[in-house]
Amino acid sequence: METKCAVTRIAIEGELSIFTAATERLHLLDAFESGNEVEVDLSQVSEIDSAGIQLMVAAKREAATRSTSLRFTGHSPAVFDIIELCDLAGHLGDPMLITARP
Amino acid sequence: MNLDDALQTFIVEAGELLEQMEEALLRIEQTPDDADTINAIFRAAHTIKGSAGLFGFDHVVAFTHVAESVLDRVRSDELRITSELVAIFLSVRDHLGALIAHIADGKEPDDDTHRASAELVTKLRVYLGQPPPVVSQALVPAKQNGTVETQAGDGVGTDNWHISLRFGPDVLRNGMDPLSFIRYLTTFGEIVHIVTVVDAVPRLAELDPEASYLGYEIAFRTDADKAAIEGAFEFVRNDARIRILPPHSKVADYKRLIDDLPQEELRLGEILILCGTLTRAELDAALRHQTTLADETLSPIGEVLVDQKLVQPQVVAAALEKQKQVKEHKATESGLIRVNAEKLDIHINLIGELIIASAGASLIAQHTAIPELLEASARLSRLVEEVRDSALTLRMVEIGSTFNRFQRVVRDVSVDLGKDIRLEISGADTDLDKTVVEKIGDPLTHLVRNSMDHGIESVEVRLAHGKPAHGTVRLNAYHDSGSIVIEVADDGGGLSRERILAKAIERGLVKPDQQLSDREIHELIFEPGFSTVEKVSNLSGRGVGMDVVKRNISALRGTVEIDSTEGVGTTMRIRLPLTLAIIDGFLVGVSGSTFVVPLDMVVECVELSAEETSASQGRDHLDLRGEVLPFIRLKQLFDIPEPPPVDIDLAADDTFDNGNAPPRNGLPSTLLTAEGAAALARDPELAFLLHPVKRENVVVVQYAGRRTGLVVDKLMGEFQTVIRPLGEVFNGIDGISGFTILGSGNVALILDVPGLVRRVAGREVRRNAKATSYALAE
């Protein structure tokens, strides 16, 4: 966890799924506790499922309640696919880079 | 699968479901809040509706649907189960039974049926909080356009299916990912638009990361049918609320979709527009419907048709995945298979033949005296015996299901009579032959009704006698020496000796000065047309019935007896043979003839010494260890001539003597069973059995608690026999209940022990009565 310009950056690596959701939730809550804006790097997320998606939605909501902001960045292809599938890009509101499909 | 077969299965299953439904309904009266029971009722109705829809019985679907809607309100705690509601549902169940019966007969429902449907629907609608609709609309959905797609009119414009998904909180924990289902959808169609409903997702601090909060509204374009779409959600069906609306569904259906999620009402409406499922105008129209009453009456058709589609795919999908279905079925039915009763009968008959053949074979083995052959035949006999026993158990069913039917009878009748009567059941796991079970239903019903109507007094009378206000009818069953005993007992007033006697004298059945035992007086109620009741109710009291009951039971080789104490109650005891086909017999010889006594009625065999013979001369009873034992001399009873003929020639004998009979040689006397011969070989002293001198044997038999001795010449051992009925000509012969063919090919008559015991008892009673009247005269 590194802190710079009042932004707490964290990265989620590997799975973002039902198996890791509980840990990642605490991880994210910790980041919010810093009082800074939070930026979450998703570039290393290899897999994501509904639990991951709703964690993202809940994190956004948390940020709104705390009147701070939370950004997801560097969506990995797996995350990108799911957000497309659920048509949640608008809801989450983070710019996503459209990457070339492997 | 042949459609007729499928229809047959539907009818059978519907019958079973209705039975379950009735059982649950009766149970729910006691425990109105038991969710399992409510669900059982709901499931039964739902399954019937679904299957009926598959076969296109729209009237059944329409009717069941209304009932189901009411049940749904009960399930969601909007309604509470009351006894009125149970009463209505019992009539719903009966009406469904009638509808299914119509289907089974291949008849269209007639006007009366439609009227009955309409009446019930009107009653049910009260519970739905809906005004009674125009009946014809609700009950007769348009036949031709059974599918929603073809319905023009107020259908919406879009070509897309609309799928509404709300996953339960446990979906994720159960290892399923809602997204994978959606991803699966894309394999056979195109998601035109999807809205992820995230409203339920809380803020991170309150999030349970392993619960599922998401819902989806999907506009889906596919050529696949509903079954395929539904199939995609097969595994989450229980964990999620899934609504699939076909293209061009009626606006009212979307309205209902919106109504179902009231907290999301506005948003969902917007979502539907977002999905392109509804246009703004259509949504407005849908929401307006809420206020216009006229449309309410239309909605049932829509409901019915859509729900029909909701149900159909499950059944169709099941039919397609035959293997899977078979597997599931196995699990649910715990490995039961249905077998045609006729096939079973053929099987039992064949086993009967097998027993006779095996007895013949072992007889020949005895003759040849080849040790290996003897051994083989002994093994064969043992196996045949086992096969017989297992074959007989195939036909055995527990009497419990028959007893349970009476819960309903007791409930209905006690309502009719205005009495509070409870039914107690014991011995429900007693087995008896299926054919007997089928035939015992009517007589039992009559006895139960009789007990309730005449036996149990009104509440005031009961309280005055210091009895509990509620009467009790008890059904009990148990096995007793080769028969099954079924008791119908009540704690009512008992039979009135005086009233019965007075009525019998009035009708000239007995003479005024005749001395009768209690038992004989009680027996009078079985006389045709006998009734002591002044008031004829619509249940009983017409004097028709008890004689029919007795006749029916006699036809099953059973008896019925009455045990009644005035003021305390009455017990009707039906005694029936366990099985109608095969018995274990005990062979006895009288002069040259052979008779079979059912083994389970034989208590013991005693020897009648010369002194006893002379001592009992002229009298028909002997002293058995201090007890008086009445006896019958079979020789006298059947008038068998003293010097034994070589073979008793019954007409039937010729039939079986066409050279097929095994050779009879070497054996003294006419017959010797395998066992008999073996015993003789082991113990030469038994030889006296084969040379009847002055010694006589008494076989003590017992039936219904009474003992009687049968005096015979020879005891010939055990023998398995198949009972064959006597032909028309010999039907009237007293003391004989059938015949059987021995291993040697000879015929042996089967003694009717109950008949003989009764005969002896009657003789005793008459003699006692005579003695008493002599004594009185002196």
Cβ atoms of residues B743 and B721 within 8 Å: no
Domain assignment present for B602: yes
Helices B546-555 and B434-450: angle between axes, nearest 10 degrees: 160
pTM of the entire structure? Answer: 0.45
Instruction: Please give the pLDDT value at position B292.
Output: 45
Domain assignment present for B696: yes
Each residue of B679-701: pLDDT tens digit? 666 665 555 555 545 567 889 98
Contacts of B726 (CB under 8 A, 6+ apart): B733, B736, B738, B739
Cβ atoms of residues B209 and A62 within 8 Å: no
Q: Which tokens is B246 given?
A: 């076909």
**Distances in whole angstroms, Cα of residue B606 to Cα of each of A39, B318, B447, B711, B724:** 104, 66, 40, 10, 29
Residues B363, B451: one domain? no
Residues B738, B592: one domain? yes
What is the C-alpha separation between B774 and B768, in angstroms, rounded?
10
| Complex ipTM over 0.90 | no
Residue ranges in chain B modelled with pLDDT below 70: 1-4, 129-158, 250-252, 254-336, 481-482, 531-545, 578-583, 610-618, 642-695, 720, 725, 727-728, 731-732, 743, 765, 767-778
Instruction: Please give the pLDDT value at position B11.
Output: 83
Residues B541, B624: one domain? no
B112: CATH: 1.20.120.160
Does residue A6 carry a pLDDT above 60? yes
Please calculate the CA angle B391-B395-B400 and round it to the nearest 5 degrees.
140
Q: In what order do the strands lie in the sheet with B582-590?
A: B714-722, B582-590, B593-598, B747-751, B736-741
Instruction: Please give the pLDDT value at position B732.
Output: 67
Instruction: Please give the pLDDT value at position B62.
Output: 82
What is the C-alpha separation between B19 and A96, in angstroms, rounded?
61
Domain containing B378 equals 341-396
Instruction: Please give the pLDDT value at position B268.
Output: 60
What is the C-alpha separation between A94 and B239, in angstroms, rounded?
32
Domain assignment present for B456: yes
Q: Does A86 touch chain B (CB under 8 A)?
A: yes
- Give strand ranges (E) for B198-268: 215-221, 240-245
Residues B452, B369: one domain? no
Which residue in A49, A61, A85 is closest to B204 by CB distance? A61
Each residue of B205-256: pLDDT tens digit? 888 888 888 888 888 888 777 777 877 777 777 777 787 877 777 666 766 6
Interface with chain B: mutation pick from A50, A72, A87, A88, highest number of B CBs within 10 Å? A50
Does residue A5 or residue B657 have the better pLDDT? Answer: A5
What is the C-alpha separation between B347 and B40, in angstroms, rounded?
37
Q: In what order do the strands lie in the sheet with B706-712?
A: B602-608, B696-703, B706-712, B627-633, B621-624
Instruction: Please give the pLDDT value at position B475.
Output: 92
- Give strand ranges (E) for B246-336: none
B212: CATH: 3.30.70.240
Residues B607, B716: one domain? yes
Domain assignment present for B438: yes
Domain C-terminal end among B514, B542, B577: B577
Give the closest residue to B234 by CA, choosing from B338, B132, B314, B127.
Answer: B314
Residues B130, B47: one domain? yes
Each residue of B628-638: pLDDT tens digit? 888 888 888 88
Residues B616, B546: one domain? no
Domain C-terminal end among B396, B413, B442: B396
Q: What is the DSSP letter of B689?
A: G
Residues of B in contact with A28 (CB under 8 A): 204
Residues B359, B414: one domain? no
A2-92 maps to which CATH number?
Answer: 3.30.750.24
What is the C-alpha separation between B530 and B500, in angstroms, rounded?
9
CA dihedral B345, B346, B352, B356 (to 10 degrees): 170
Place of tokens 């009467």: B471
Contacts of B157 (CB under 8 A, 6+ apart): B248, B279, B282
Residues B125, B180: one domain? no
Q: DSSP secondary structure string, B644-660?
A: --SS---HHHHHHTSS-
Place of tokens 């069913």: B397
The number of folded domains in chain B is 5
Which residue in A29, A54, A85 is closest to B205 by CB distance? A29
Residues B442, B569: one domain? yes
Domain assignment present for B123: yes
Q: What is the DSSP letter of B277?
A: S
Q: Do A51 and B212 touch (CB under 8 A)?
A: yes
Instruction: Please give the pLDDT value at position B38.
Output: 82
Q: Do B177 and A49 touch (CB under 8 A)?
A: yes
Each residue of B744-772: pLDDT tens digit? 777 888 888 878 887 877 777 676 666 66
Domain assignment present for B497: yes
Q: Does A85 touch chain B (CB under 8 A)?
A: yes
Domain C-terminal end among B521, B555, B577: B577
Instruction: Please give the pLDDT value at position B487.
Output: 92
Domain assignment present for B273: yes
A positions 55-74 inside 8 Å of B (CB): 55, 57-59, 61-62, 64-65
* Element at B374 (helix H, strand E): helix B371-395
What is the C-alpha separation between B480 and B447, in angstroms, rounded?
21
Q: Where is average pLDDT lowest: A47-56, A92-101, B120-129, B661-670?
A: B661-670
Q: Smallest CA–CA separation between A40 and chain B, in Å?
A: 14
Residue A72 φ/ψ region, left for φ over 0, alpha for ψ in the -120 to 50 degree band, beta for the rest: beta
Domain assignment present for B149: no
Place of tokens 């086993």: B351
